[in-house]
């Protein structure tokens, strides 16, 4: 991360500079990305954090925003059987998001974007943000944009997947190739459910058995797929944030006029 990009992370700023940025109208981004969540044998436990921080940094540069430290513990119950993986209860995670988001807005940030790399985290984040001013907060779910969904549908060759799979591994090849060990990538058996319950590495009779911890086929991942997926994701996030801020500006303009 370059020096200019670091200046958008509040952890690198003295408090008075953060205050000046907020006073000038900077928005806020809260990345949600696990740093203690297994990602198969070929990716590090910090995979989600890497995605969350990189995407937040790029978005901040596009829209003039400050990035708060990533929320690296969350509600990830499907992975706790694998060493190193930690999950908060849904209620605890919801409370944490609520308090942090409320504190950020309390400093006067005109808008808050919660950039969420998870799936099991979504409901808790939605509930937390519902307690706040809906006109000033937006939940950005990185896999839900139309461009990303279209690219994923066109590129995916795996029969199933959603975790440390073909798509996520391709993204990591584009974001941090030095952290991907394709020699250890291992496909999971076909799991009956489109969205499995808690994965297990020990119970071979379970429909959710995965020795590696992957859900999908990471052996099909390529850098080219990752670059296409990443470009689509970036465009989706930038458009969603810009549209939200434009609507907020119109609302603020009407308020000032009245």
To the nearest whole percent, how much of the chain has pLDDT over 90? Answer: 86
Q: What is the CATH number of the domain that holds 63?
A: 3.40.50.10310
Q: What is the pLDDT of residues 80-129, one digit of tens each?
A: 999 999 999 999 999 999 999 999 999 999 999 999 999 999 999 999 99
Confidence category of residue 252, pLDDT binned at 50, 70, 90: confident
Chain-centroid distance of CA 204 in Å reads 31
C-beta of residue 235 within 8 angstroms of C-beta of residue 59: no
To the nearest whole percent, how much of the chain has pLDDT over 70? Answer: 94
Q: What is the pLDDT of residues 119-173, one digit of tens each?
A: 999 999 999 999 998 899 999 999 999 999 999 999 999 999 999 999 999 999 9
Full residue range of the structural domain in which residue 169 is found? 3-246
pLDDT at 138: 98
pLDDT at 194: 57
Distance from C-alpha of 123 to C-alpha of 254, rounded to nearest angstrom? 32
Q: Is 177 left (phi over 0), alpha (psi -120 to 50) or beta?
A: alpha
Residue 73 within any structural domain of the chain: yes
Distance from C-alpha of 29 to C-alpha of 55, rounded to nearest angstrom? 10
Distance from C-alpha of 181 to C-alpha of 35, rounded to nearest angstrom? 18
Distances in whole angstroms, Cα of residue 114 to Cα of each of 13, 25, 73, 217? 20, 17, 14, 29
Residue 170 within any structural domain of the chain: yes
Residue 202 within any structural domain of the chain: yes
Number of domains in the chain: 1
Distance from C-alpha of 108 to C-alpha of 28, rounded to nearest angstrom? 10
Q: Which two tokens stand for residue 122?
A: 């979504």
pLDDT at 180: 98
Chain-centroid distance of CA 200 in Å reads 24
Give the 3-state secondary structure of residue 236: helix
Q: What is the pLDDT of residues 67-81, one digit of tens each?
A: 999 999 999 999 999
Distance from C-alpha of 7 to C-alpha of 146, rounded to nearest angstrom? 30
Residue 168 within any structural domain of the chain: yes
Distance from C-alpha of 79 to C-alpha of 37, rounded to nearest angstrom? 7
Distance from C-alpha of 72 to C-alpha of 213, rounded to nearest angstrom? 19
Residue 254 within any structural domain of the chain: no
Residue 166 within any structural domain of the chain: yes
Confidence category of residue 258, pLDDT binned at 50, 70, 90: low
Sheet strand arrangement including 65-67:
65-67, 27-32, 112-116, 137-141
pLDDT at 215: 94
Residue 253 within any structural domain of the chain: no
Residue 255 within any structural domain of the chain: no
C-beta of residue 47 within 8 angstroms of C-beta of residue 39: yes
Distances in whole angstroms, Cα of residue 191 to Cα of each of 75, 77, 79, 112, 214? 22, 17, 15, 37, 11
């Amino acid at each position: 991360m370059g020096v200019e990009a670091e200046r958008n992370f509040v952890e690198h700023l003295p408090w008075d500079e953060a205050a000046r940025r907020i006073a000038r109208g900077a928005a806020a981004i809260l990345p949600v990305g696990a740093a203690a969540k297994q990602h198969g044998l070929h990716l590090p436990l910090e995979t989600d954090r890497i995605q969350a921080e990189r995407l937040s940094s790029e978005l901040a540069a596009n829209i003039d925003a400050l990035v708060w430290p990533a929320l690296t513990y969350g509600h990830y119950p499907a992975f706790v059987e694998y060493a190193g993986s930690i999950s908060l209860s849904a209620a605890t995670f919801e409370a944490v998001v609520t308090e942090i988001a409320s504190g950020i807005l309390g400093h006067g940030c005109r808008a808050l974007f919660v950039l969420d790399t998870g799936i099991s985290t979504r409901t808790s984040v939605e509930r937390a943000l519902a307690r706040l001013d809906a006109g000033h907060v937006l939940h950005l779910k990185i896999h839900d944009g139309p461009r990303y969904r279209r690219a994923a549908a066109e590129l995916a060759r795996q029969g199933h997947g959603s975790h440390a799979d073909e798509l996520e591994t391709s993204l990591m090849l584009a974001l941090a190739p030095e952290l991907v060990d394709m020699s250890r990538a291992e496909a999971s058996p076909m799991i009956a459910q489109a969205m499995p319950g808690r994965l297990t590495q020990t119970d071979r009779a379970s429909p959710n058995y995965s020795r590696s911890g992957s859900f999908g086929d990471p052996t099909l991942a390529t850098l080219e797929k990752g670059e296409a997926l990443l470009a689509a994701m970036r465009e989706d996030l930038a458009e969603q944030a810009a549209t939200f801020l434009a609507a907020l500006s119109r609302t603020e303009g009407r308020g000032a006029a009245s």
